[in-house]
Structure 1
């Protein structure tokens, strides 16, 4: 859960940095005005970032009058939301639990589209040399930050895996990398190990639980904007959503090229990156659309962390989701569900 202190900092940052970042420049020799923006993406070295890289590389954003100058990496949960609210950023791909809790706490943000709706890259690993061989052996599970998807999974997965209630202690690590360090030191029994880490050296880890076998659909992140930015530049928001979805489609149609692009971004061999891309595609990992099933699973996981609030249905404004994609709401909202 997001602490009151974190919420206070988030709201203070939003007040201090409410100014719009939208620097206009001429695009090439066409004379077409291009709006330069920065975005924030949770864990921007992991599969979340692949459609963004594709859309940048293929010029999908610029074709719509937007230049994504920089992708600011978050560390999961409320940290990425603070990047968005406090960092003069146009749009962010933010963990759904953080967006819901932030909205309830007064953050002036709106979820305008889906993003990551699968759990590829969020499997749970033990140390290869440690005593944990099966999920039932694990007592301490590391998650990244409050409001993160890994916090929700660490709360709900043990029960779904058949473990006795209360037999697992979720441990906040401060980030995915920090959780891996705790796993290697023996401070925790399980942690999610980033695909980028596994691509470099998987020999130190043993996969104990494949999350997608439990949750085929899980709304990890949503494209989120500050309300002021949405009011002032709805054209940019629409362009970014459309460019992102074009990036998703291109990755699915060109997996080898997408893998090379991602490999260069994180510094691994293309073969290793291709395995990551293929797994994500197989799990229908990305979409600007929103699935009621994926949303409801994520909300159920939030409740396992102790969340007792109601999902603010006014958080979602999906009119700019590209045609043909689902625009569903959580089941607790009017007209929501599958």
Structure 2
């Protein structure tokens, strides 16, 4: 889960959308589409305006990691089309994805595979205003109002967490048309699911802190909130290029994990018009480096078969997975082909 359905978005400039359409029109599909004899052109679609989830990409771009690998990376700005769709329809070679969206797409037979996990910890929490002394656990959310975004998984996820905390899982929902902390402090809702690495920090900076309940503390499986995905078609046609791209990404995110302050500066440098709140960017970069980029064993980018299967089991049990014809699946899908670690550099 990342900044698409469960989190607020602002409108991009029409020019950005036009650029996306123009760029995707010439997206690559073979090894021989480089902009010069020595560089292979590769496209990567963003899931929203540049933010700290994308730091490693811009670090690798700014420090020349892609260039040194012979890759001419073209970053496609977010437009009106979800990156999962662009990847599965072969209009982007790579793109930012997330476990929930990719699971739904892959279960329905779409051509998309995760090749890199940006975040190793679930980057969304259940949050309430820090002033709410009456809410000390998710079980206290029974009878309360949730400010959501209409994603199918929100209700069953919240019900599972509340019930695991000894509640009933009964709550009302309203559509969130503002930031989570604004809705909570204005008493338009009692709880929401913001990103602690962005909205949570932003709330602190403006004096509206949130109290958070981590999903995994209440029996919900950890989720890869931010992924980088490609298609099986692209990976099979371009295995060497794919390995170079993933290696450059890993170098970029390793740098971001080791040097968050410098990485934040590089991200801001590449996106000055979008990232004007530099304090927020730096604090977010530091939190991601401290708690999100590295797995428990210290590694970066890898993915766990158990984590993929656990989340698919939840989505199946909640009736959220359908086939290509829109019919609900009758058994839990085998997620072993939903992701791969094969393109990561060998340790």
Superposed pair shares fold, TM > 0.5: yes
The structure-2 alpha-carbon separation of the partners of 1:218 and 1:110, relative to structure 1 and needing over 3 Å to count, comes to: closer
**Aligned twin of 1:13:** none
1:190 correspondence with 2:200: no
State the SS of the aligned residue for 2:85. helix
2:95 aligned partner? 92
CA RMSD of aligned residues (A): 3.7
The 1:192/1:99 distance shift into structure 2, 3 A limit, reads: same
Q: Is 2:221 aligned against 1:208?
A: no
Alignment: residue pair count: 295
What is the rounded CA distance, in whole Å, between the counterparts of 1:18 and 1:67 in structure 2? 15
What's the offset of the Cα at 1:196?
A: 3.5
Normalised to the residue count of structure 1, the TM-score between the two structures is 0.70
Q: Does 1:316 align with 2:326?
A: no
Number of the residue aligned with 2:35:
25
The DSSP-based 3-state class of the residue aligned with 1:32 is coil
Larger strand fraction of residues: 1
TM-score by length of 2: 0.69
CA drift at 1:255: 2.0
Select the structure with the greater relative contact order (CA < 8 A; seq sep ≥ 6). 2
C-alpha distance in 2 between matches for 1:244 and 1:217: 23
> Please, which of 309, 315, 321 is the counterpart of residue 302 of structure 1?
315
Instruction: Give unpaired runs (5+ residues) of structure 1.
Output: 1-16, 325-338
2:285 to 274, 277, 299: 277
CA contact (8 A) 1:74 1:80 kept: no
8 Å CA contact retained: 2:203, 2:210: no
**Structure-to-structure mapping, 1:126-165, within 5 angstroms:** 126-127=128-129, 133-134=135-136, 135-138=138-141, 139-144=144-149, 146=151, 153-160=157-164, 162-165=165-168
| Residues 85 and 226 in structure 1, CA contact (< 8 A), matched pair in contact too | yes
Which sections of structure 2, spanning at least 5 residues, go unmatched? 1-22, 295-299, 322-328
Q: How far apart are residue 91 of structure 1 and its match? A: 0.8
CA distance in 1, matches of 2:333, 2:147: 26
CA-CA distance at 1:51 after TM superposition = 1.6
CA spacing shift, 1:239–1:197, aligned 2, 3 Å:
same
Structure-2 change in CA distance of 1:170 and 1:66 (3 Å): farther
| Structure 1 partner of 2:277 | 268
Conservation of the 8 A alpha-carbon contact between 1:51 and 1:244: yes
Q: Residues 123 and 210 of structure 1 are in contact (CA less than 8 Å); yes or no, is this contact kept in structure 2?
A: yes
Q: 1:106 aligns with which of 104, 109, 115?
A: 109
Inter-CA distance 57–127: structure 2 relative to 1 (3 Å threshold): same
1:118-146 deviations in Å (ceiling 9; x for gaps)? 124x2332246778643444333344453
Q: Per-residue deviation at 1:21?
A: 0.8
Q: Classify 1:19/1:225 alpha carbon distance in 2 versus 1 (closer, same or farther; 3 Å).
A: farther
Shift of 1:247: 1.2
Structure 2 CA distance for aligned equivalents of residues 99 and 18 of structure 1 = 20
- Please tell me whether the aligned partners of residues 114 and 338 of structure 2 are also in contact (alpha carbons under 8 angstroms): yes
